[in-house]
Amino acid sequence: MCARIFSAAISTTLLASALLAAGIPNAAQAQAAAAGPSDEARAAAREAYGRAQQLFRDGDYAGSEAAFLAAYAAIPNPVVLMGVGESRERAGNVLGAIEAFERYLAERTDAPDAEAVRARVEGLRATLGTLAVSSTPDGAAVSIDGEATDERTPAEFSLAAGEHSVMLQLDDHEDATRQVELTAGAREELSVSLESSVADDLALGDGTPIEEPDMDDADATEGPEDVNTGVWITAGVSAGALLMGTVLGFLALSEESDFNSAPTADSADRGEKLALFADVAFGVAAAAALTGLILHFTEGDDEDEDATATRLSVSPAVGPHGAGLAAQLQF
């Protein structure tokens, strides 16, 4: 008899443990559940709800939404969700308002105003527009009005009517932002071609992009250097020709002195040739010097301007009785 009583006691204990493990409340838990929320929870819910109503009257809809949610967290009364939906609707969060009203209907199945709330939800849905976003290439992350979404192109969004800012982001491509105006009940399509941020026109053998040179900068630096080189060359030619003309001039004077002492036909001929060559050398020197000056003072001109500007060219001229410079002005 004692053994049977002991065995029955053990079975009862094991059954109670199994019921607790299965989530079935025992008598103490059932009594606590029947008693309802604690006094602290009730006080917190009342305080948050009263604060939410005052914030709503003051027009602070973001604050009233947060306070209504705090009251609902303290005591999950479905009626509070109507306040959440009202705050979101006034703040322009149409999708959030629809979510709150639908949750109210789901949690309060016997709601006396169910038909009116359903009609209100339908009215809010009619104020939404549909935005279809696509990109080339696909797979761009979509942010709307500064808020990142979990969607990548192509994707569709239900948004409140009005203007929205849409930003697309994709690796190795430039970010793209577009403004879209949505009409209630309408469907708008936004297609964006994303520009690559990787220079793939020039690349090394391993695929590394090569930076393209700035041809404008190259032209700007090469022009003056080329002009300076020309100035130095013409200056050298001018100095050399001047030196040669001086030497030939002295030789011509020497032949003239010999001719005066002992006039001969050969002496006269040599003197005339030396004088002629000296004149040619002086002409070359003068032409080179003038060319160098022109290059120096026109080194900042563009090629297009040079093509249409007036040109002055100077060259040595040799005649049967002497030498000099020939100048040509071209328009």
Give all strands (DSSP E) within the chain, no chain letters.
Answer: 128-136, 141-144, 147-152, 155-160, 162-169, 176-182, 187-193, 311-319, 322-330
Mark whether 173 and 86 lie in a shared domain.
no
List the structure tokens of 239: 């100095």
The Cα 311–Cα 309 span in angstroms is 6
Mark whether 234 and 298 lie in a shared domain.
yes
Smallest CA-to-CA distance from 96 within 65, 75, 130 is with: 65
The SS3 assignment for 321 reads: coil
CATH number assigned to the domain comprising residue 144:
2.60.40.1120
Is 148 within 8 Å of 167 (Cβ atoms)? no
List the structure tokens of 77: 């009364």
For the packed helices 61-74 and 39-57, what is the interaxial angle rounded to 10 degrees? 170
DSSP strand pairing (162-169 vs 141-144): antiparallel
Mark whether 149 and 229 lie in a shared domain.
no
Q: Would you say residue 273 lies in a domain?
A: yes
Tens-of-pLDDT digits for all 331 residues of the chain? 434 433 444 343 333 333 333 333 444 444 444 557 898 999 999 999 999 999 999 999 999 999 999 999 999 999 999 999 999 999 988 889 999 999 999 999 999 999 999 999 999 988 888 899 999 999 999 999 999 999 999 999 988 888 999 999 999 999 999 999 888 778 889 999 999 987 654 454 555 555 555 555 545 444 555 556 766 787 777 777 677 768 777 776 776 777 677 777 776 677 677 677 767 776 776 776 777 777 666 665 544 444 445 454 555 555 555 555 555 545 4
Q: Would you say residue 105 lies in a domain?
A: yes
Q: List CB contacts of 315: < 8 A, sequence separation 6 or more.
A: 287, 325, 326, 328
Q: State the residue for tokens 């306070």.
A: 67
Q: Looking at the DSSP assignment, which residues form a beta bridge with residue 188? A: 131
Mark whether 184 and 228 lie in a shared domain.
no
Is 107 within 8 Å of 75 (Cβ atoms)? no
Mark whether 243 and 324 lie in a shared domain.
yes
Half-sphere exposure of 225 (CA within 13 A, CB side): 6
Give the per-residue pLDDT at 328: 56
Q: Would you say residue 88 lies in a domain?
A: yes
Give the per-residue pLDDT at 2: 39
Q: State the residue for tokens 């040079």.
A: 306
Domain limits for position 163? 128-193
Q: Would you say residue 211 lies in a domain?
A: no
Of 81, 105, 126, at which residue does a domain stop? 126
Q: Would you say residue 208 lies in a domain?
A: no
DSSP strand pairing (147-152 vs 128-136): unpaired
Smallest CA-to-CA distance from 182 within 125, 129, 143, 146 is with: 129
The Cα 125–Cα 118 span in angstroms is 11
Beta carbons within 10 angstroms of residue 96's beta carbon = 16
Give the per-residue pLDDT at 120: 93
Mark whether 52 and 107 lie in a shared domain.
yes
Is 138 within 8 Å of 153 (Cβ atoms)? yes
Q: Would you say residue 203 lies in a domain?
A: no
Task: Compute the C-alpha angle 30/33/34, nearest 5°.
Answer: 85
Q: Would you say residue 28 lies in a domain?
A: no
φ/ψ of residue 70, rounded to 5 = -65, -40
CATH number assigned to the domain comprising residue 59:
1.25.40.10
Of 126, 143, 174, at which residue does a domain stop? 126
Of 104, 126, 148, at which residue does a domain stop? 126
pTM for the full predicted model: 0.44
The number of domains in the chain is 3
List the structure tokens of 237: 């030619």
Mark whether 148 and 109 lie in a shared domain.
no
Task: Compute the C-alpha angle 55/59/64, nearest 5°.
Answer: 35
The SS3 assignment for 183 reads: coil
Mark whether 242 and 303 lie in a shared domain.
yes
